[in-house]
Every structure is written in C-alpha cells, then in structure tokens.
Amino acid sequence: MKPEAENKINHDQYLDAKGLNCPLPILKTKVLLNKMQADEILFVEATDPHSQVDFEAYCARTEHTIIKSDVINEVYRFYIKRTQNPKVI
C-alpha cells in the first residue's frame, strides 16, 4: 500500500481550490460546508501559501474542525468536519 493511501480519511465532499488565491479557497469552502450535514467531512486541496493560516482562522471562528491538514508537493490539504451549528461570520 502506498504511504499516501494509508493517510487518507473518508470524506463526503471534495473541493479542488488549487490555483485559487485568497479569499476564494475559503469562500468556496464556506459555500460547500453550508450545504453539508453536521459531522460530514470536506476534503480541500489548495495551493495558496496562506491557506494554512486562513483555514485555521476560519475554522476557529465558525467552530468547524480541521481533522487533519498536511502539505504534499506544495498542495495544502485539509479534512474539515462540519460542526452542528456553525457560527456565522
């Protein structure tokens, strides 16, 4: 088994935000999370170097949970669990 396959988390939705700059990755994430059910997981891939800080801040404010994040080949990857009642920002 490939090492990358061992680290995968099952997710309900996927967002390819590669090539997009701030604030588009967060805005597109917000739209998708708003359509999802509580406890579903969104997997996001982004190339914006500010993604790590932006996603951490967004999730802290809205109470969504970053289950896992990493960077592979300059692609920032986030597994975000939708909270029951996200705070509106």
pLDDT tens track for 37-80? 999 999 999 999 999 999 999 999 999 999 999 999 999 999 99
Q: Which CATH class is domain 17-81?
A: alpha beta
Residues serving a catalytic function are 22
How far apart (Å, rounded) are the C-alpha atoms in residues 20 and 75? 12
Mean pLDDT of the chain: 92
Q: Please report, for the chain, the start and end positions of each structural domain, with discontinuous segments joined by +.
A: 17-81
What is the model's pTM? 0.90
pLDDT of 1 over the 80 cut: no
Binned at pLDDT 50, 70 and 90, residue 7 comes out as low
Say how far apart CA 81 and CA 89 lie, in whole Å. Answer: 17
Q: In this structure, which amino acid lies at residue 83?
A: T
